[in-house]
Amino acid sequence: MLIVMNHSATQEDINAVTAVIDAMGYIAAPIPGRERTAIGVLGNQGYVDDSKILELPGVQQVIHVSKPYKLVSRDFHPENTIVDVAGVRVGQGCRPVVVAGPCAVESEEQIVKTALFVKKAGADMLRGGAFKPRTGPHTFQGMREEGLKLLSLAGRESGLPIVTEVMSPDNVGLVAEYADLLQVGARNMQNFDLLRELGRIRKPVLLKRGMSATLEEFLAAAEYILAEGNEQVILCERGIRTYETATRNTLDLAVAPLIKEMSHLPIMVDPSHATGKRSLVPPMTLAALMAGAHGVLVEVHPEPEKALSDGPQSLTFQGFDALMTDVRRLTAFLGY
């Protein structure tokens, strides 16, 4: 429920409303705005009787929010959230960011070489998986802590903030020691214990959309992180399962502008996992930026044909360099 105060409501009026909400056993979350204050009501499991609230001085309107998310919604939080990843700002009004790197960290040489190259080409952050969520157990599962150390070394050598996936709540502390931005993969979007744990740290989180999650489920997953107190969340569209098999997933590009209507959180797009095909990554990267994404996540590998995972969708160094030339042109056109 959202209580909208009228613009002449005083602080006493606001305090009186929060006192009534407290007495009803719920949590009041005042949201000061330029024109007027709104007060969010949290902690209710169902419909809240608003009769006592409607009669209080200064109350203009009560809106019943039936969505499973509140803290992530624009209704509760009209101002855009800007997420700061080790000094790189992500969100509305900021230059769109490019996160680049291999699917997985494979060796010191591979990750350091990639880091230095993508930095030179203009990337803003380095990605690389150390804990890999593979479909089958007989494939490369990642270098785990050793991979985190190599990623951190590559981050230091290139000066790029690092982004890496965390798969289990038990590893949140470990991954947070190394990563600047902790990624939740599509397969773990509804790992609620993991989301809660990430809500308790003070580092930003990149939450990828589950491959068969609706937008409502996606935002409700983000709500778990915010509900524990961590508001530094970036959402990421990475394609969904459809009947189409020509691409690895179907890039649901309309979510970039749609998420901006529904939520104040930044939205990025991952054209690599969304398409699964190297040749489609550059055009879909540009399309995502044109659609208003706050950033893109692109897989790049020094020798994609030898990659231990996701080689067919990884750009070569040359391909990434060419893409960055187009990205710069497009972002200049967009006014950044």
The binding site for ligand PEP (CB under 6 A) comprises 103, 129, 133, 185-187, 208, 238, 270, 273
Apex CA 281: angle with CA 108 and CA 297, to 5°?
A: 55
Choose the contact partner of 32 out of Mn ion, ligand PEP, none; CB within 5 to 8 A by kind. none
Q: Could you say whether residue 125 binds Mn ion (CB under 5 A)?
A: no
**Burial of 130 by CB count in 10 Å (0-12 exposed, 13-18 middle, 19+ buried)?**
buried
Distance in angstroms (rounded) separating the CA atoms of residues 318 and 302: 9
Site string for Mn ion, 268-307 (x = CB under 5 A): ----------------------------------------
Distance in angstroms (rounded) separating the CA atoms of residues 180 and 85: 6
Q: Which is nearer to ligand PEP, 289 or 298 (CB)?
A: 298
Q: Could you say whether residue 75 binds Mn ion (CB under 5 A)?
A: no
Q: Which is nearer to Mn ion, 70 or 208 (CB)?
A: 208
Choose the contact partner of 208 out of ligand PEP, Mn ion, none; CB within 5 to 8 A by kind. ligand PEP
Residue nearest to ligand PEP (CB): 185
Contact 71, 31 (CB under 8 A): no
Tell the smallest beta-carbon distance from residue 313 to Mn ion (Å). Answer: 7
Tell the smallest beta-carbon distance from residue 10 to ligand PEP (Å). Answer: 49
Q: In a 3-state reduction of DSSP, which class is residue 188?
A: helix
| Near Mn ion by CB under 5 A: residue from 31, 88, 98, 103 | 103
**Tokens 């391909």 — which residue?**
319
Distance in angstroms (rounded) separating the CA atoms of residues 275 and 240: 10
211: left (phi over 0), alpha (psi -120 to 50) or beta: alpha
Binding site for Mn ion (CB under 5 A): 103, 310
